[in-house]
């Protein structure tokens, strides 16, 4: 298979992934997603696994469960039944069964503090990760001042990546290559990284990251690069400077220390970083960025 064919496959699967993440409550089927990607259902299943490393049903179920787990922690105003509905589970009993199968706790037990035991297990897994030393060294970093801002939507070109580690640099290098091929001045783009996964409940190698650059309306998806709009709205903003490995502790403090006492609740779109200096492209792995947590009033 030539490179152009692989890029085209990634592009079509990206469109399916964008649809899934945009509305997890929708009863997605392989037939409907295959049709939108212009594949037969059989071919779509095969290409989807080749691109994502997971079967379609596994990917959707995992994504829904991870979303639900976060909502149970950070959305105390919502019942488990409402969370199940918003995350696309067909019934409360189905939700409870799947959730316990994945996380080892019922949704009720998870919300009542059971998630802390699971987080401890994930933390032990992190000890074997290349980030462990940096995370330990950064554990004492304080949360910078938090500001409330309203952001406009951003139209971006993007590439997906699996893993919160140094391999993210490959996604950024690919975006740089694509921008050069398309005649897009790198100095004029805003670099944004979407953090889809909560690393407290997802092993770092399994976390989902999306590297994005702003593009004008005249630029459209092509090859392995997708186009989407990051929603605007109310965000909690912190300005952070540091080196590789020092951002995740700040994200932890924002979610677990600031948010519960803020008078806001987390929105359903991902946390993201807008880089002034990108650690994945900096020779010294230093960064300067604004971290944004989408929020809503309680």
**Which pLDDT band, with edges at 50, 70 and 90, does 245 fall under?**
confident
Residues 156, 288 within the same domain: yes
* Segment 25-63, tens digit of pLDDT: 999 999 999 998 889 999 999 999 999 999 999 999 999
Share of the chain above pLDDT 90, in %: 79
Where are the alpha helices (H) located in the chain, listed in sequence order? 3-22, 30-36, 41-52, 56-74, 80-86, 92-103, 107-109, 115-126, 132-137, 168-181, 247-253
Q: Please answer whether residues 178 and 128 qualify as being in contact, where contact means their C-beta atoms are separated by less than 8 angstroms.
A: no
Taking all residues of the chain, what is their mean pLDDT, rounded to a whole number?
Answer: 91
Give the count of beta carbons closer than 10 Å to the beta carbon of residue 85. Answer: 16
Average pLDDT of the residues in 242-258: 92
Residues 188, 96 within the same domain: no
Helices 115-126/56-74 angle, 10° precision: 120
Residues 69, 201 within the same domain: no
Residues 102, 235 within the same domain: no
Residues 17, 83 within the same domain: yes
- How many whole angstroms separate alpha carbon 140 and alpha carbon 123? 16
Identify whether 235 is part of a domain.
yes
Residues 158, 102 within the same domain: no
pLDDT of residue 133: 52
pLDDT of residue 7: 83
pLDDT of residue 131: 55
**Which pLDDT band, with edges at 50, 70 and 90, does 73 fall under?**
very high
Q: Please answer whether residues 215 and 179 qualify as being in contact, where contact means their C-beta atoms are separated by less than 8 angstroms.
A: no
Global pTM reads 0.91
Residues 262, 151 within the same domain: yes
CATH number reported for the structural domain that contains residue 18 in this entry: 1.10.10.60
Among candidate residues 124, 156, 187, the one where a domain is terminated: 124
Q: Which of 65, 282, 264, 284 is nearest to 149 (CA)?
A: 264
Average pLDDT of the residues in 147-176: 96
Domain that holds residue 207: 147-297
Q: How many domains does the chain have?
A: 2
* Segment 168-188, tens digit of pLDDT: 999 999 999 999 999 999 999
- How many whole angstroms separate alpha carbon 63 and alpha carbon 87? 9
């Amino acid at each position: 298979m030539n490179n152009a064919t692989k890029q085209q496959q990634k592009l079509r699967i990206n469109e399916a992934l964008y649809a899934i993440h945009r509305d997890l409550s929708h009863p997605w089927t392989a037939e409907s997603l295959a049709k939108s990607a212009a594949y037969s259902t059989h071919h779509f299943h095969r290409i989807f696994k080749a691109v994502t490393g997971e079967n379609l049903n596994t990917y959707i179920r995992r994504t829904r469960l991870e979303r639900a787990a976060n909502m149970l922690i950070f959305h105390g105003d919502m019942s488990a039944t409402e969370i199940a509905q918003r995350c696309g589970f067909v019934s409360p009993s189905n939700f409870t069964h799947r959730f316990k199968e994945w996380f080892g706790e019922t949704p009720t037990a998870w919300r009542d503090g059971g998630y802390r035991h699971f987080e401890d297990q994930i933390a032990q897994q992190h000890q074997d990760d290349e980030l462990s030393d940096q995370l330990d060294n950064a554990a004492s970093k304080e949360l910078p001042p938090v500001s409330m801002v309203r952001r406009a939507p951003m139209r971006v070109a993007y590439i997906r990546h699996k893993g919160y580690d140094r391999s993210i640099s490959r996604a950024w290098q690919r975006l740089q290559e694509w921008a050069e091929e398309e005649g897009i001045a790198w100095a004029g783009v805003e670099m944004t990284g979407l953090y889809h996964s909560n690393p407290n409940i997802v092993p770092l190698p399994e976390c989902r990251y999306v590297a994005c650059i702003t593009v004008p309306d005249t630029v459209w998806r092509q090859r392995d690069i997708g186009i989407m709009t990051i929603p605007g709205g109310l965000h909690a903003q912190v300005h952070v400077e540091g080196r590789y490995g020092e951002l995740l502790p700040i994200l932890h403090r924002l979610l677990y220390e600031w948010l519960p006492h803020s008078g806001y609740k987390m929105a359903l779109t991902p946390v993201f970083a807008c880089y002034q200096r990108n650690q994945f492209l900096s020779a010294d792995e230093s960064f300067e960025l604004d971290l944004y947590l989408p929020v809503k009033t309680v």
